[in-house]
Structure 1
């Protein structure tokens, strides 16, 4: 049996090891992909540090990596639409029996030399899009895209706010600019993140600790407040601050994950203004990925600056540490087998 390298997390001990494992074989309706690039996400960090735990994983060990791009190595029976050599992006999850299974969490992901995918969980990757940029689309780009277009239902000329300009929030700023939101207000305590937001197209970047934040948001929105606010930080204080500058009938979209309670300080005001809080997770990838790739091919968005570094698969632990400690303030680090 052929073998390959994979970065495997032993969940009970939270131990990450790069080790040799059997190379998987595609079964009926499956495709084996030679991995060319795999993104390192903060969710991976949280799986390792114990903040997140797989809910649907069979067994106690999983190959990490839900952001994956590569080329088709072999197609199983019934997967003839995917010839060897085809460039592809793997979806970050699959729907099984009504439940969402996340790649690299609930089943083996792409921090490996090869990865399995269902044939219906792949999207062709255009030649014009590098593997490194293609790899980050299934989460770092498609999640904010889904939050903007589906959950948030942002319309052109609407005033919007983005709290947390990290690996997802910076892409939200770019995408909001692309769909015509105006103005786009970014909020982050980090000066580096605020500079990044302005470079990505934000009209205004504010420190969350700024005592004049509410006044400045009201000023830039002609007193109306934000039609939609996005929480990419997953912090209770962020949500309270975003609600305080939300317009009448405004929408607060929760993208950042947290197990902390959600509170509304002034329930009467919230109801009187007919505001809404909407939860968001992932995206409809069969729809979102082709849309994003068309925007990239058409020059509407560019994610080249999002690739902050490329490391070999053997240095997966180093990549995790760099992201966790924000060494160099990375947006996305990429592993290459």
Structure 2
């Protein structure tokens, strides 16, 4: 094995991403070295470049949605073998907080996020904790497996855990790009009905209908609340998901909720959102809940769903770009060129 590798590194002082040569990392106790096959480009990667997310370290390798094969085992690693196909979890427990000290590492209070607090996977190799790996079923492609580390697992966490969507509940999804598309699909898997998609792009709305939405509306429609009520027989939504995170999308979604409805904010921006007068919020008993991430066990659940044909991700990989062209992939996502669900980087 060579001593160096290519990696796309974020430099906090210039807010730029540079593909450069760096030493291949050595796995420590309980860690493995993974040869990366694919890694997604996520909007949170753009948020770091744009300064919406504060830099946690001066320089870091970006990319947190990855799949690959184990290339080297660190000391003390058992149950894994070199050559195993794996998905890397996008976070590490700090092992110091109150939850971790009690053995509840799943609910770590200071979770360290891959590609923000430590090096990610826009690189030829990446180090991962063995306890955070998920084995990829033989009939699941490495491309689709990479998506499970965030692009699909975060929507899964939003739908199943935070949103607690029940069979027959009416669900609305604002913004049906990378995250929203998978919220639509997963809401259908758990039995939500009907599912309404909201987007300003007609091509994206049409795609949402093809992938499981029952209705698709232009979110700029001035009569949107009325049209939602008409689609739902006079009532409004039980659960709304904002996968954009803008003031306009969150506040519009809140208006489309029925009494006791839940707004789950998944998308992130620097904009401030108002829930309106406290009296109205109390009277209508609406809830506004933020959502972030997933549990590592969710990745295995999703891999099983894909393996058994219960979840179709065949349209989720919009394009693959080589590592050296990661800047082109970033700009394509930023400009929504081709309405991508997910663009993957291949080292």
Are 2:318 and 1:308 equivalent residues in the alignment? yes
- Following TM superposition, the consecutive aligned residue runs of length 4 or more in structure 1 with deviations greater than 4 angstroms are none
Cross-structure match for 1:331: 341
Deviation at 1:94, TM superposition (A): 1.3
Deviation at 1:37, TM superposition (A): 0.6
CA–CA distance in 1 between the matches of 2:91 and 2:166? 28
Cross-structure match for 1:196: 207
CA–CA distance in 2 between the matches of 1:18 and 1:106? 19
Cross-structure match for 2:17: 16
CA–CA distance in 1 between the matches of 2:273 and 2:333? 27
Are 2:125 and 1:114 equivalent residues in the alignment? yes
For the 8 Å contact 2:137–2:304, the answer to whether it is kept is no
How do 1:56-67 residues align onto structure 2 when only pairs under 5 Å count? 57=57, 60-67=58-65
Deviation at 1:51, TM superposition (A): 2.4
How do 1:20-35 residues align onto structure 2 when only pairs under 5 Å count? 20-35=21-36
Are 2:308 and 1:298 equivalent residues in the alignment? yes
* Secondary structure of 1:270's aligned partner: helix
* Secondary structure of 1:146's aligned partner: helix
Q: 2:256 aligned to 242, 245, 255, which one?
A: 245
CA–CA distance in 1 between the matches of 2:160 and 2:310? 16
Cross-structure match for 2:92: 94
Deviation by residue 1:118-140 (Cα, 9 ceiling, x = unmatched) = 11111111111111111111111
Cross-structure match for 1:73: 71
Are 2:283 and 1:272 equivalent residues in the alignment? yes
Deviation at 1:321, TM superposition (A): 1.3
CA–CA distance in 2 between the matches of 1:280 and 1:333? 23
The number of equivalent residue pairs is 333
CA–CA distance in 1 between the matches of 2:251 and 2:37? 41
Deviation at 1:303, TM superposition (A): 0.8
* Secondary structure of 2:319's aligned partner: strand
Deviation at 1:41, TM superposition (A): 1.0
Deviation at 1:193, TM superposition (A): 1.5
Cross-structure match for 2:328: 318
* Secondary structure of 1:168's aligned partner: helix
TM-score, reference length from structure 2: 0.93
Deviation by residue 1:199-235 (Cα, 9 ceiling, x = unmatched) = 1110000011112211121122222211100010111
Are 2:42 and 1:41 equivalent residues in the alignment? yes
